[in-house]
Every structure is written in C-alpha cells, then in structure tokens.
C-alpha cells in the first residue's frame, strides 16, 4: 500500500496505521481521510490482519485536528458534504469494522483527531497526550461524530463541558472520564498496544466480529443524532462566526465573533 500521508506496517497479525503528516501535526485533510479509509478497507480484507493500531507519526500529535486551511471558505452545502463524506469514508467505517481498531494516542488529539480516536473500538493514551474538541472556537461544531460519540463515552454533562468550553483535558483526566482505557509512558505506548493486540489475537476472530456488531447495535438509536450533527455542522459554514473563527486561526490571532 502506497499513500502520501499514511504509513502502514503489518507484522504477526497486527497492522499499524500511522497518519504521516508530522509537519502539520498529522492534521486531517480530505486526502488523508480518503487514504485512511482505503487503508482500513484493504486491511479488513486481509485475513492475516486481525488487529489494527491507529496512531500518528512523530512524538507531538496523534492527530491535531482538521486542516482548517482546506475548508475555511466552504459554503453550507460544502460543509454538510464534508461531514457526511468524512463520516462515510472513515469514521463510521472504523466503528463498524469487524477487525478491532485500537487508537494509540501519542500526543495531541484535537477536533477531528479526537473524533478519529473515539471512532476506534478503544483508546490508549501516552502520558503527554491532550484531548479536546475546540471547534466552537472556530465558529463551528464537531462534524465527524464528536457530538454523538463523546457523550456515549463520558456522559452528557462532561461531554457538554468539553464541547462548549472547547478546552483540552490531559491523559489522566481522560482516563478518569473513561475516554481512554489506559495511560502509559510515551515510550511504552506502542508496545502496550501491541500487547493488547496479542491478547486479542488469542481469541476467535468470528466471535470478535460479532461482539463488535452486538455492542454497536446497543447504540443504534443514536444514529439520527449523526444526521443532526451533519446538518448543524454544515449550517455553521454559512455563519459570520465561522468565517471570523477560521480567518482568525489562519491569521494567528484571537477571534472577534459577531454572534447571532
């Protein structure tokens, strides 16, 4: 598999997918989302691959959000299409994959990066990791499942606080909230995830695939919420707050939101 912004390694039944844009702190653009989706589809069809670990290259970031410069000028319709296509290509695909996907959060996981981690079947963070959904600071909301998956994982109140404040939490707080399953020293992160993967390898792949489907089915009533998120996400692109938020980000200044 040859990609521009994604690296894939397979060894002894465990595949490691790395988002490989360290100069951009592994920020997601449309190409990266497409390549991640393609890599996952290929690995899903490989009977030798029974566990996938998803991480970011370098030591600073898992994925530090979306590439804002790519969508700052989008219209409402383009915003909705961005969210819908991203969820279809990648985020929903991960959640529904028969092969277990472990997020190895090795640094910043912000915005689309945290949404990517939350789509995985479970998460392990390095001690230096920081997580958050800062989209409201740009005049938009999470658009890749964040308003749905975060409350499922940590409860409505905590999710509301994280989303509405736009703030970050550290790895120990994420562990306390149940957002991540484990926290390890950064140098031990990948080996810890591989050890978990090896434990999974001992079990029936058929049973595992059915277990994933069964767990996901328990949350199926939330699916209309994803459509509501797509619509609201797109609507944000038609607001002056979004234009000001993204312009301020790209100009490296604090935003001055006009409001409703």
55, β-bridge pairs: 18
Catalytic status, residue 135: yes
Residue 93: Cβ within 10 Å count: 17
Catalytic status, residue 191: no
Report the candidate in 235, 244, 239 with the shortest Cα–Cα distance to residue 76: 235
The CA-based diameter of the chain, rounded to the nearest angstrom, is: 56
Which of 31, 44, 95, 115 is an active site residue?
115
Q: How far is CA 97 from CA 22, 100, 137, 157, 217, in A?
A: 26, 7, 32, 29, 13
- For strand 6-11 and strand 14-19, is the pairing parallel, antiparallel, or unpaired? antiparallel
- 133 vs 151: CA distance, rounded Å: 12
Cβ–Cβ under 8 Å, residues 43 and 52: yes
Which of 23, 31, 48, 135 is an active site residue?
135
Positions marked active-site: 115, 135
């Amino acid at each position: 598999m040859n990609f521009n912004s994604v690296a894939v390694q397979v060894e002894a039944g465990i595949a490691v997918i790395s988002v490989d844009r360290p100069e951009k702190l592994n920020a997601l653009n449309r190409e990266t989302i497409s390549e991640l989706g393609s890599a996952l589809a290929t690995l899903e069809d490989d009977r030798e691959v029974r566990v996938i670990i998803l991480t970011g290259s370098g030591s600073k970031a898992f994925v530090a959000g979306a590439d804002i410069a790519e969508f700052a000028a989008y219209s409402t319709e383009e915003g909705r299409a961005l969210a819908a296509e991203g969820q279809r290509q990648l985020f929903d695909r991960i959640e529904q994959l028969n092969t277990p996907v472990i997020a190895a959060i090795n640094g910043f996981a912000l915005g689309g990066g945290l949404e990517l981690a939350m789509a995985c079947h479970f998460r392990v963070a390095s001690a230096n990791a920081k997580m958050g959904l800062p989209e409201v600071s740009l005049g938009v909301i999470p658009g890749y499942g964040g308003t749905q998956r975060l409350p499922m994982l940590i409860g409505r109140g905590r999710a509301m606080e994280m989303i509405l404040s736009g703030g970050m939490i550290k790895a120990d707080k994420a562990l306390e909230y149940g957002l991540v399953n484990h926290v390890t020293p950064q140098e031990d992160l990948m080996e810890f995830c591989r050890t978990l993967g090896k434990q999974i390898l001992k079990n029936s792949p058929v049973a595992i695939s059915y277990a994933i489907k069964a767990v996901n089915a328990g949350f199926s009533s939330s699916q209309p919420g994803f459509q509501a998120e797509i619509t609201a996400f797109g609507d944000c692109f038609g607001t002056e707050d979004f234009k000001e938020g993204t312009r301020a980000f790209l100009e490296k200044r604090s935003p001055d939101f006009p409001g409703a």
